[in-house]
Structure 1
Amino acid sequence: MTTRPKNTPRTVATVAVALCTSLLAACSGAGGGGGGSQAHSINVLMVNNPQMVDLQKLTADNFTKSTGIKVNFTVLPENDVRDKISQDFASQAGQYDVATISNYETPIYAKNGWLSPLTAQSKADTAFEQSDILPSIQESLTSGGQIYAEPFYGESSFLMYRKDVFAAKNLTMPANPTWTQVADLAAKADGAQPGMKGICLRGQPGWGELIAPLTTVVNTMGGTWFDKDWKAQVNSPEFTKATKFYVDLVRAHGEAGAPQAGFTECLNNMEQGKVAMWYDATSAAGLLDGTGSPVAGKMGYVPAPVDRTKSSGWLYTWAWGLQKASKHQDDAWKFISWASSKTYENLVGTKLGWSKVPAGKRTSTYTNAQYLTAASAFAAATKTALTNADPLNPGVQPRPAPGIQFVGIPEFTDLGTQVSQEISSAIAGRSSVDSALKTSQSRAETVAAKHAGQ
């Protein structure tokens, strides 16, 4: 499992509406058994990403022994955990005290009153050092001036490329490339080695697959899903230009099987020498340059390509949210503050190796000599990407909702997935971009109508 956001089978809004039909039954369990039967015991529901599995292994000996707080983990695949979290938090059943949520869900859950604000606890807990959290990450987890989640790790996006391939072909990667330059380099690197294509770009349907990188291209090329007045802009000239550029690039110089390629497939392509460049999550760098990787030491990293903006990298974080219905607020905060702390990062570095540190959330991580040694190839580029990410102003015009690679509204999981299916079909050559965006515009207008005038 990767750190990217992925397609979910149901939206937050759909879950909430479904739960409202059985409100009495749901409310009968509100504040129920959350935290288990022990006086100092909490229930934590989390995604089964490798970093969380590490946490699960380290908790008993390094948290429970010192605090007396037993942590009961429920660990599920990403799609399943999103559904279960939505159901439990929406009903305020209180079965789980803490859950992994992202910067997509956090402001939505906060607005709905499903989360306990953490501002007071973070200020009172001086050892936590809230000021050390990267500003872009903290902002993405803040709503109405209150912090509603604390990050476990974060990521942005950047361009990864094979330095040895570029050297052999006498190609130079600009320090801050434009998409036009990247397209030119992809054409020149295509075929640099037998079976190698110029670039890998996600084509797999999903609001967190194809739509994530595509939306960053849309942003920097002047487009947006909705303007500040909630008018849908999916078939606008700017959105169309960006989508045609993306589709044309991946069709001409992209990976084999692009309509089915997501993060994992592109990672495999890069590791196996099948592509010369890859635009995707900064979290991929630790895998590409990790011990045992066939391309370790051969990779270069530069900022996300741009067109009309100065930066274009996305922003994503898995974070800890505390359910408002939890009856174990203090114990839950102790766990959250430990799991998000510098102390925990140092524990992982010491016990498991510095390349496995859940990074991307604290400024101090990028001054830690041991971490910088292990992540020397990509640490600086990752920090720059995270620092430059601006969820409130990712493009060239005002937005009605926060988000860089997504629109921060409940309906976006369904809308983004439906639009991605149309565009993936265009990548496969089964339809045109114009046709895909015409259908997508109609769907976006339906969503916009729900928000206009609010």
Structure 2
Amino acid sequence: MTKATRALLGATFLTAMALPAVAQETTLTIATVNNGDMIRMQGLTEDFKEQHPDIALEWVTLEENVLRQRVTQDIATQGGQFDVMTIGNYEVPIWAKQEWLLPLEGMPEGYNTDDILPAIAEALTVDGTLYAAPFYGESAMVMYRTDLAEEAGVEIPDQPTWTDIRNAAEAMTDKENEVYGICLRGKAGWGENMAFLTAMANSYGARWFDMDWAPQFDSEEWNATLTDYLDMMNNYGPPGASSNGFNENLALFQQGKCGIWIDATVAASFVTDEDESTVADSVGFAQFPNKEGVDNRGNWLWSWNLAIPSSTDAPEAAKQFVAWATSQGYTELVAEDEGWAAAPPGTRTSLYENEQYQEAAPFAEMTLNSINAVDTNAPSVQETPYTGAQFVAIPEFQGIGTAVGQQFSAALAGQMDAAQALSGAQTSTQRTMDRAGYGSE
């Protein structure tokens, strides 16, 4: 090597050393569900990028049932495909105990974990540690067309019974003009039709299991639940209802095709959105119904949450994103962009103390009261060996809930009657529970 070459290489080396280091960009892959609030979040992430220019975001947006399958498979195998997962309060305690989730300790300054609604925070906490941050929380309630109810001469009280709902659905049905008295979930899935039907069953006094973990689908309460559900949907529901989940029923209601929709409280901001809903100025709200003589209004407590799998290779960047998306600052960002009524509901005490939100969201008080009324330790008026509201908090529930949901969806599609669907549900659930060792001494 000549002196000139050595000098040139030395100069190049010194120049390189003198240059400032270029920060390497971290890419986070985020798995989320394809509902309105999550789509809205993706549209607001420029704010996050401005605060964190060294973090890039990649989205995997999936239908609810598919999302659950993908994230469950990935986290159980420690696949590491996702850095942030959208999961429910069903998965959080189960996965945290398996050490599949990273604890959300040391959140950025100003995050204010204490502001999270107690019922929601409790569902996401294991042994005193928070393992997921809620993006929004919900219970369930009745949403109905006040104009159709008035025209039909019926009244839906604030605390209706199922008889009130059936009578109103019958009166509001006008199939010639494609107006259906009631829209309820029919799409098979433990978090789709079985979320609704479990809540309905709770309000009828039913339970999934007795204290010895024996399935209860052969009970009078479950028979009454499914029989009444099928009767209402077959007589007053829309065609093809066995394919309808949350998103499909939301679209039907916004288009003016449903008189009554009973579903998650989070839907309230969408059915009252004047830009999206043709019936925004004619929506009333009521508590989830109960069956006469049963002191239970279909306990339902759900939250979509952002959690960090232990398999991520970017835990700190993931924590920054989770903190941004579930913060009070994000709520204010949504309010600034789309109005206070669009703010993610059911997660923070401060939101329900905000006078601007209370004024903009006529459903705020009903939502908060519904969430606060839930007792996940007593989902049924009968004693249960499990906790949960519209689900049973055991690992096997994903499988058994979906299998039962398929039976009930088939009954709604006319492929079997209620007795056959309940018999199939009893048999399949008993088989799974026996294999898992429940009830054995």
Name the CA distance, whole Å, in 1 between partners of 2:231 and 2:115.
Answer: 42
Q: CA deviation at 1:349?
A: 1.3
Q: Does residue 201 of structure 1 match 2:188? A: no
Per-residue deviation, 1:441: 0.3
Work out whether 1:266 is the aligned partner of 2:266.
no
Calculate the aligned-residue CA RMSD, in Å: 2.6
Which moves more between the two structures, 331-340 or 86-95?
A: 86-95
- SS for the counterpart of 1:121 is coil
For the 8 Å contact 1:171–1:185, the answer to whether it is kept is yes
Alpha-carbon distance in structure 1 between the residues aligned to 2:112 and 2:101:
21
Q: In the alignment, is residue 295 of structure 1 matched against residue 279 of structure 2?
A: yes
> Within 2, Cα distance between the matches of 1:413 and 1:62?
36
User: Quick one: which of 21, 37, 42 aligns to 1:56?
Assistant: 42
Q: Please say if residues 202 and 296 of structure 2, whose CA atoms lie closer than 8 Å, have aligned partners that are also in contact.
A: no
CA drift of 1:320 comes to 1.2
1:372 corresponding residue in structure 2: 358
The residue correspondences of 1:78-227 to structure 2 (distance < 5 A) are 78=63, 79-118=65-104, 120-121=105-106, 127-191=110-174, 194-227=177-210
Q: Which of 426-435 and 294-303 deviates more?
A: 426-435
TM-score when normalising by structure 1: 0.83
- Shift of the 317–69 alpha-carbon distance from structure 1 to 2, 3 Å rule, reads farther
Number of residue-to-residue matches in the alignment = 413
Q: 1:445 is matched with which residue?
A: 430
Distance 1:55 1:189, change over 3 A: closer
Q: Which moved more, 1:267-276 or 1:151-160?
A: 267-276
What letter corresponds to residue 142 of structure 2 in structure 1?
A: L
User: Matches of 1:380 and 1:193 in 2, distance apart?
Assistant: 36
In the alignment, does 2:226 pair up with 1:246? no
CA 1:64–1:427 in structure 2 vs 1: closer, same or farther (change >3 Å)?
closer
Query: Match of 2:59, SS?
Result: strand
Distance apart, 1:452 and its partner CA: 3.0
Q: Which amino acid aligns with 2:193?
A: L
> Once the 2 structures are TM-superposed, how far is the Cα of residue 102 of structure 1 from its aligned partner?
1.2
Offset of 1:100 from its aligned partner? 1.4
Structure 1 CA distance, aligned partners of 2:163 and 2:426? 26
- In structure 2, the partner of 1:24 is none
Q: Compared with structure 1, are the counterparts of its residues 383 and 306 closer, same or farther at alpha carbon in structure 2 (3 Å cutoff)?
A: same
Post-superposition offset of 1:401: 3.2
The answer for the alignment partner of 1:10 in structure 2 is none
> Offset of 1:387 from its aligned partner?
1.9
| TM-score, with structure 2 as normaliser | 0.85
1:131 partner amino acid: D
Q: How many Å separate the matches in 2 of 1:84 and 1:269?
A: 28
SS in structure 1 of the partner of residue 304 of structure 2: strand
Q: Is the 8 A contact 2:169 2:260 kept in 1?
A: yes
Structure 1 residue corresponding to 2:386, chosen from 401, 404, 422: 401
Once the two structures are overlaid, the 10-residue window that deviates more, 192-201 or 281-290, is 192-201
User: Deviations 1:156-203 (Å, cap 9, x if unpaired)?
Assistant: 211111111222222221111111221222233334984433212222
1:269 and 1:85, CA in 2 relative to 1: closer, same or farther beyond 3 A? closer
Identical columns (%): 38
Q: Which amino acid aligns with 1:178?
A: T
Q: Are 2:132 and 2:307, in contact at CA under 8 Å, matched by a contact in 1?
A: yes
Unpaired runs of at least 5, structure 1: 1-36
Q: Pick the aligned partner of 1:360 from 340, 343, 346.
A: 346
Q: Deviation per CA, 1:35-60, whole angstroms, max 9, x where unpaired?
A: xx96673524221434334333433x
| 1:127 match: secondary structure | coil
Secondary structure of residue in 1 paired with 2:357: helix
SS at match of 1:198: strand
Matched, 1:236 2:219: yes
2:395 corresponds to 1:410: yes
Residues 80 and 312, structure 2, Cα contact 8 Å, conserved in 1: yes
2:159 is paired with a residue whose SS is coil
Letter of the structure 1 residue corresponding to residue 290 of structure 2: V
- Give the aligned residue type for 1:268: A
**One-letter amino acid of the structure 1 residue matched with residue 308 of structure 2:** L
Greater Rg over alpha carbons, structure: 2
Deviation larger for 293-302 or 194-203: 194-203
Gaps of 5+ in 2: 1-21
SS in structure 1 at match of 2:110: helix
Partner of 1:257: 240
Residue aligning to 1:279:
262
TM-aligned CA deviation for residue 216 of structure 1? 0.7
Over 3 Å counting, the alpha-carbon distance change for 1:264 and 1:332 in structure 2 is closer
> Is the contact made by 2:272 and 2:281 (CA closer than 8 Å) also made in structure 1?
yes
CA distance in 1, matches of 2:257, 2:61: 32
**Contact 1:152–1:361, Cα closer than 8 Å, also in 2:** yes
Deviation at 1:68, TM superposition (A): 5.4
Partners of 2:80 and 2:174 lie apart in 1 by 56
Match of 2:414 among 423, 429, 434: 429
